């Protein structure tokens, strides 16, 4: 196993640990964190299967198509719960529907399920960045602080993790095509190592977020 | 080759600017949306806070009035009874003394006179604390009685002008309005140097409006508008769910009290 492969495999460990930790805590979690845990379970299962496919040298892109579609729905649902009372739920619902339609059309006609669905991934990153940045701004507000949003510290960590990962991923996925065409393969591999690093950072933030939850 | 690579990078970079622009616009729009909702929530919080303060004010006034009523009743029933009995005994002693010899009669008459004065003061204090006619005869009759007493002195003329269809108010409104008007009359007598007071009471579509005017000095600019008396009047009006506008009409003092939703 090369160092690059080792790092990519290693990057899955925080995912499994965080998913298991969320499963362990699930009953004691608040509403928002419970919904977020669903995303962690989805990540754990999909990443596990895709890792197995990767070892078996099978194409695991179909899993990515499912992961992106369902993953975004759960994250949007999570933000809808966090921002309840401050955001019109219709905005999130409409975003979910449009995103699902876009991924469906993309998977059927443009980037089929056996190819890398960078368009959907880029759109997901854009939407999550908008949501996470807005949540940051929202949390700064005094009234939001006074309204005692449950588990605000945990949500801040999770939001930070999502923001860091999606910002870096947006650049990596966006320039992915450019790198593939203009740089040698080993540099391309480094971009995936970089992606794995940010993934590890994100799941570490998620773990800290769960750790810092309000004890009942 | 280099130029082609530069163009390729440029074509990759240009849409990125579009992406960043979309993110920025998305964040700004969402932020505007949050601000609107946050402002709405802030208004709601303020409303709850105001309502809570109003409830506190109303309950504190209610407690104060109940306490006044109790004190007035105690003074009237207990102290009044004792003083009346004392007076009765003194009258009997005077009658005995007339038959037996007149040497302590002046002293007894003096004590009786003092007791009668005490009885008079006690009635006055008790009535001021809680006028009994307010409960029995209503606001207009009570105000007319107050005007009658004041007019007898010859120093001031109080004119009450109530609309024919002016309703019989429930106790909190009746008492609240009475206290406000008494405080205004008191202020006029103390500070205004007026010789006429006009009180107009109207009732239209469930709203009570009361206009109080006197022909005194009026409010001196920036001087007495923040006094304790006027604050108490404002507090009472607010506790009834109404408001009061105090100012001058020409040089005369004028206060307009409006109390909606009295049903």
- Residue B5 banded pLDDT, cuts 50, 70, 90: low
CA A34, CA A41: separation in Å to the nearest integer?
11
The residues spanned by each domain of chain B are 2-128, 132-259
Residues B263 and B251 sit within 8 Å (Cβ to Cβ): no
Q: Of A11-20, A34-43, A150-159, A186-195, which gets the smallest average pLDDT?
A: A186-195
| Cα→Cα distances A142→A138, A145, A149, B42, B46, Å | 9, 5, 12, 10, 14
Q: What rounded mean pLDDT belongs to chain A?
A: 88
Which residues on A lie below 8 Å from B42 (Cβ)? Answer: 143
% of residues, chain A, pLDDT over 90: 53
Residue A6 domain flag = no
pLDDT > 90? residue A157: yes
Residue B182 neighbours by CB under 8 Å, 6+ apart: B146
CA A108, CA A85: separation in Å to the nearest integer?
37
CA A144, CA B239: separation in Å to the nearest integer?
31
Contact B8 A182 (CB under 8 A): yes
pLDDT per residue over A169-207, tens digit each?
988 888 777 777 777 877 777 888 888 889 999 999 999
Q: Of A176-185, B44-53, B221-230, B254-263, which gets the smallest average pLDDT?
A: B221-230
CA B182, CA B139: separation in Å to the nearest integer?
11
Residue A4 domain flag = no
Q: What is the pLDDT of residue B228?
A: 64
By CB atoms closer than 10 A (0-12, 13-18, 19+), residue B64 is exposed
pLDDT > 60? residue B244: yes
CA B215, CA B156: separation in Å to the nearest integer?
10
Contact B45 A181 (CB under 8 A): no
Which pair of tokens denotes residue B178?
């009475």
Q: Residue A215 has what DSSP assignment?
A: P
Q: How many domains does chain A have?
A: 1
Residue A79 domain flag = yes
Residue A3 domain flag = no
The CATH architecture assigned to B132-259 reads 2-Layer Sandwich (3.30)
Which pair of tokens denotes residue B85?
């009995």
Residues A132 and A162 sit within 8 Å (Cβ to Cβ): yes
Assess A131–B contact: CB distance below 8 Å, yes or no.
yes
Q: What is the pLDDT of residue A22?
A: 95
Q: What is the pLDDT of residue B224?
A: 54
CA B35, CA B31: separation in Å to the nearest integer?
6
SS3 of A139, please? helix
pLDDT per residue over B79-137, tens digit each?
888 888 888 888 887 777 777 666 677 777 788 888 888 888 888 888 777 887 888 88
pLDDT per residue over A36-90, tens digit each?
999 999 999 999 999 899 888 888 889 999 999 999 999 999 999 988 888 889 9
Which residues on A lie below 8 Å from B17 (Cβ)? Answer: none
Where would I find the beta strands (DSSP E) of chain B?
A: 157-162, 196-204, 207-214, 243-249, 252-259
Assess B27–A contact: CB distance below 8 Å, yes or no.
yes
Which pair of tokens denotes residue B203?
């009732």
The backbone torsions φ and ψ at residue B256, rounded to the nearest 5 degrees and listed phi first, read -115, 120
Q: Cα distance from A23 to chain B (closest Cα, Å)?
A: 32
- Residue B227 banded pLDDT, cuts 50, 70, 90: low
Where would I find the beta strands (DSSP E) of chain A?
A: none
Residue A56 domain flag = yes
Contact B38 A143 (CB under 8 A): yes
Contact A143 B30 (CB under 8 A): no
Q: What rounded mean pLDDT belongs to chain B?
A: 83
Q: Of A26-40, A96-110, B146-160, which gets the smallest average pLDDT?
A: B146-160
Q: Residue B222 has what DSSP assignment?
A: T
Domain that holds residue A75: 12-211
């Amino acid at each position: 196993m090369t160092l690059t492969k080792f790092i990519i495999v290693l990057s899955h460990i925080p995912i499994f640990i965080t998913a298991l930790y969320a499963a362990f805590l699930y009953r004691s979690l608040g509403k928002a964190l419970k919904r977020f845990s669903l995303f962690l379970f989805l990540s754990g299962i999909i990443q596990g299967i895709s890792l197995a496919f990767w070892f078996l040298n099978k194409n695991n892109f179909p899993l990515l198509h499912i992961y992106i579609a369902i993953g975004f729905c759960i994250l949007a649902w999570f933000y809808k719960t966090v921002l309840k009372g401050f955001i019109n739920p219709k905005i999130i619902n409409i975003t979910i529907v449009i995103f699902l339609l876009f991924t469906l059309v993309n998977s059927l006609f443009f980037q089929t399920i056996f190819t890398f669905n960078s368009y959907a991934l880029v759109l997901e990153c854009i939407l999550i960045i908008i949501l996470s940045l807005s949540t940051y701004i929202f949390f700064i507000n005094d009234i939001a602080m006074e309204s005692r949003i449950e588990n605000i510290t945990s949500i801040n960590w999770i939001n930070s993790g999502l923001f860091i990962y999606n910002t870096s991923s947006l650049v990596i996925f966006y320039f992915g095509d450019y790198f593939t065409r203009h740089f040698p393969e080993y540099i391309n591999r480094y971009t995936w190592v970089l992606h794995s690093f940010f993934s590890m950072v994100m799941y570490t933030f998620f773990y800290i977020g769960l750790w810092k939850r309000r004890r009942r | 080759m280099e130029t082609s690579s530069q163009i390729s990078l440029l074509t990759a970079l240009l849409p990125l600017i579009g992406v960043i622009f979309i993110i920025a616009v998305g964040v700004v729009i969402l932020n505007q949306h949050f601000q609107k909702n946050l402002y709405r929530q802030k208004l709601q919080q303020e409303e709850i806070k105001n309502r809570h303060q109003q409830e506190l004010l109303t309950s504190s006034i209610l407690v104060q009035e109940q306490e006044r009523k109790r004190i007035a009743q105690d003074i009237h029933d207990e102290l009044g009874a004792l003083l009346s009995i004392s007076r009765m005994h003194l009258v009997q002693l005077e009658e005995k003394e007339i038959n037996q010899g007149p040497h302590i009669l002046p002293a007894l008459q003096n004590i009786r006179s003092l007791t009668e004065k005490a009885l008079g003061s006690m009635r006055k204090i008790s009535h001021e604390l809680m006028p009994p006619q307010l409960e029995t005869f209503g606001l207009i009759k009570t105000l007319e009685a107050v005007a009658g007493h004041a007019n007898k002195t010859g120093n001031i003329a109080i004119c009450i002008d109530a609309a024919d269809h002016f309703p019989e108010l429930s106790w909190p409104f009746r008492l609240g309005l009475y206290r406000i008007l008494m405080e205004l009359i008191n202020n006029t007598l103390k500070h205004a140097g007026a010789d006429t007071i006009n009180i107009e009471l109207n009732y239209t579509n469930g709203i009570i409006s009361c206009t109080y005017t006197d022909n005194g000095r009026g409010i001196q600019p920036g001087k007495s508008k923040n006094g304790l008396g006027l604050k108490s009047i404002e507090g009472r009006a607010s506790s009834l769910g109404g408001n009061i506008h105090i100012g001058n009409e020409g040089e005369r003092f004028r206060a307009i009290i409006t109390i909606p939703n009295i049903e």
